[in-house]
Amino acid sequence: MLKKYLGKRVLYLSLTLVLSVYITIIIANAGGMIDDILSAQIKYDITTNLARSPGWSQLPEAEKVRLITERFTSAIHAKGLDKPFLERTFIYLWDALTLKLGRSMFITSASGTKQISVIILERLPRTILLFTTGTIAYSILGLVIGLRMARSPGSLFDRITTFFAIITQAIPPWFFGIIFILLFAYQLRLVPFGGMVSVPPPSDPLNYAIDILFHMALPLFTWIFSMFGSWAYITRNLTMQSSQEDFVTVARAKGLSERMIMRRYVLRPSLPPIVTSISLSLIASWQGAIITETVFGWPGLGSLYFQAISILDAPVIIGLTVVYAYLLVATIFILDIVYGLIDPRIRVEMGQ
């Protein structure tokens, strides 16, 4: 059952991925953006290649131009750039899906290459480091607090946390980020105001790790601060719904301990819908990373986005959008697996 369920999800998510990448291509190329980028890069490649070949400088100018144009047209033809718009978009779609993202215009990776896939791969782990840590931390915190709220609805603790949840739900993390940076970094000088490591970075690995943690403290705190409230609130509502079910009353009548009731009868049926609602907020926060990372100067995918926007590096923007499409689909897939594992309707049949 899990296999069948996951197979269906993989098929569906692959279709979604193809669609989002295709929309990316259409948006980018409706104004001929990708066409221009590609032909400029092909031309550049041909010219530099020819210039390196022996005897090139002795050739007359007209001959040079003729050779370049000739190779250019054949390269364009080989690549399929002279085909009609619709056909071209499918060529680009395949390139994008196989992550052949081409070269950037200005941005280089730390190793000095302009290959967009290399640049993005260099940044991806940093984004994942920050956001996975944050997500795990706030989900645990939110779950614990939400269960506590559900135990005594209407109490002072419940009301205060609900109030907090309403406000933090309406205000995005990057916004708290700006205020916290102002407060903790500039006024109180407790934490660095941006970046991932000090300049120059510490040389031995232990200090390096500590340095990263030090820089991660504020973004992580902000992330958890702004997310855990709404998760606690969702958990509270869902567990309260299931704790009103008859089987909970029966369990209580049987004399089971509150702890046992909570774990077996209340939390278990509430988990699948909690995962569903969290998957939506995760998608929002992945995209919010573009601004959050920019605010904190965290050198991940998000600030790469910002960098590319500010110097108008179109190939990087397109490449990043493609990677984002992958990232969102991958996130949903992972949550689908989690869902499959905790939803008894799917899991139980798998065990048989």
Binding mask 218-237 for another protein (x = CB under 8 A): -------------------x
With helix as H, strand as E and coil as C, how does the chain read? CHHHHHHHHHHHHHHHHHHHHHHHHHHHHCCCHHHHHHHHHHHHHHHHHHHHCCCHHHCCHHHHHHHHHHHHHHHHHHHCCCCCHHHHHHHHHHHHHCCCCCECCCCCCCCCCCEHHHHHHHHHHHHHHHHHHHHHHHHHHHHHHHHHHHHCCCCHHHHHHHHHHHHHHHCCHHHHHHHHHHHHHHHCCCCCCCCCCCCCCCCCHHHHHHHHHHHHHHHHHHHHHHHHHHHHHHHHHHHHHHHCCHHHHHHHHHCCCHHHHHHHHHHHHHHHHHHHHHHHHHHHHHHHHHHHHHHHCCCCHHHHHHHHHHCCCHHHHHHHHHHHHHHHHHHHHHHHHHHHHHCHHHHHHHHC
Rounding to the nearest 10 degrees, give the CA dihedral for residues 274, 275, 279, 285: 60
For residue 78, state whether it binds another protein (rule: CB under 8 A): no
- Among residues 39, 153, 164, 264, which is the contact residue for another protein, using CB under 8 A? 153
Residue closer to another protein (CB basis): 142 or 288: 288
Regarding 190 and contact with another protein (CB under 8 A), the answer is: no
Window 261-280: residues binding another protein (CB under 8 A): 280
Closer by beta carbon to another protein, 108 or else 155: 155
Looking at 118, 218, 278, 317, which residue binds another protein (CB under 8 A)?
A: 317
Answer yes or no whether residue 337 interacts with another protein by CB under 8 A: no
Using CB under 8 A, which of 5, 184, 298, 305 touches another protein? 305
Give the nearer residue to another protein in terms of CB position, either 193 or 208. 193
Of 166, 210, 334, 348, which one interacts with another protein (CB under 8 A)? 166
Residue 93 CB partners (closer than 8 Å, separation 6+): 18, 21, 22, 25
One residue of 54, 154, 200, 255 binding another protein per CB under 8 A: 154
User: Least Å distance between CB 170 and another protein?
Assistant: 4
Part of the chain binding another protein (CB under 8 A), chosen from 90-98, 118-126, 162-170, 212-220:
162-170
Contact pattern from residue 169 through residue 188 relative to another protein, giving x for each residue in contact according to CB under 8 A and a dash for the rest: xxxx-xx--xx-xx--xxx-
Stretch of residues binding another protein (CB under 8 A), selected from 41-49, 113-121, 159-167, 218-226: 159-167
- Using CB under 8 A, count the residues that bind another protein: 60
Residues in contact with another protein by the rule CB under 8 A = 12-13, 15-16, 19-20, 23-24, 27-28, 30-31, 33, 153-154, 162-163, 166-167, 169-172, 174-175, 178-179, 181-182, 185-187, 193, 237, 240-241, 244, 280, 283, 287-288, 290-291, 294-295, 305-306, 309-310, 312, 314, 317-318, 320-321, 324-325, 328-329, 332
